[in-house]
Amino acid sequence: MGWLAPYADDLLRMAGYPSPHPLAGDALTYAEQAIEGYTRRVWGSSQPFIQRVYLSAKSYVLPLPPDVTSVATINGEPAPAGITWTLTALGLEATDAEGRLVAWAPGVWTVAGQRGSAAIPQGVLKAASLLINAYLGLSDAQRSQMATASRGDLSYSMRYAQLSVPEAETYLAPYVNRIAGGLA
């Protein structure tokens, strides 16, 4: 059961298909994988993560994915005494006991914590219904081809990051994780 399962009946209805549908599970799995791959976010749950962040210059914000909910350690250590870490829309800020921002030095920072969006926004659900409609509208041969294809394999004209339903990209655009860095 994936994170779209609680919305299955509504998504199938939005996609124009009756519920229950014999391929509903496959369609939901396809939509979940496409959305997670496109947005590079964790949906429907909270998971531990470790990410390396590379800073080439001093910065007052350590950039992190937008779905990070808490930070436990940086480079294996909790926040030093007198320093407070605060998650903002831009990333992680460090402030001293007097409330002044503390700059992050250039280098590699290994961040460990929790990430994930428990609440699923309406835009993501609309994109899921469009992807489900596209999946269920395929023939069996096309569906089996899609099971082994990566995004971008379906057409030479598609970008690697492009979804099979361009309108779904529009709904997902506000939720795309644009933070580079290696997830360990």
Model pLDDT, residue 155: 45
Residue-level pLDDT at 158: 45
CB neighbours of residue 168 within 10 Å: 25
Whether the model clears a pTM of 0.75, i.e. scores above it, the answer is yes
Evaluate if residue 26 carries a pLDDT over 80: yes
CA dist 154 → 26, 145, 158, 160, 164 (Å): 18, 9, 7, 10, 8
Cβ atoms of residues 26 and 144 within 8 Å:
no
Q: For residues 28 and 164, which has the higher predicted lDDT (pLDDT)?
A: 28
pLDDT single digits (tens) 163-178 = 778 899 999 999 988 7
Query: For all residues of the chain together, what is the average pLDDT?
Result: 86
Q: Which tens digits make up the pLDDT trace of 31-83?
A: 998 898 888 889 999 999 999 999 999 999 999 999 999 999 999 999 999 99
Q: What percent of the chain has pLDDT over 70?
A: 84
pLDDT of 159 higher than 80: no
Q: How far apart, in whole angstroms, are the C-alpha atoms of residue 49 and residue 123?
A: 25
Q: Is the pLDDT of residue 120 over 90?
A: yes
Q: Which of 77, 35, 72, 23 is nearest to 172 (CA)?
A: 35
Q: Which two tokens stand for residue 70?
A: 């808490």
Question: What pLDDT, on a 0 to 100 scale, did the predictor assign at position 86?
Answer: 96
Q: Where are the domains of the chain?
A: 5-43+119-178, 47-115
pLDDT value, residue 170: 92
**Mean pLDDT score, 19-31:** 86
Predicted local distance difference test score (pLDDT) of residue 164: 77
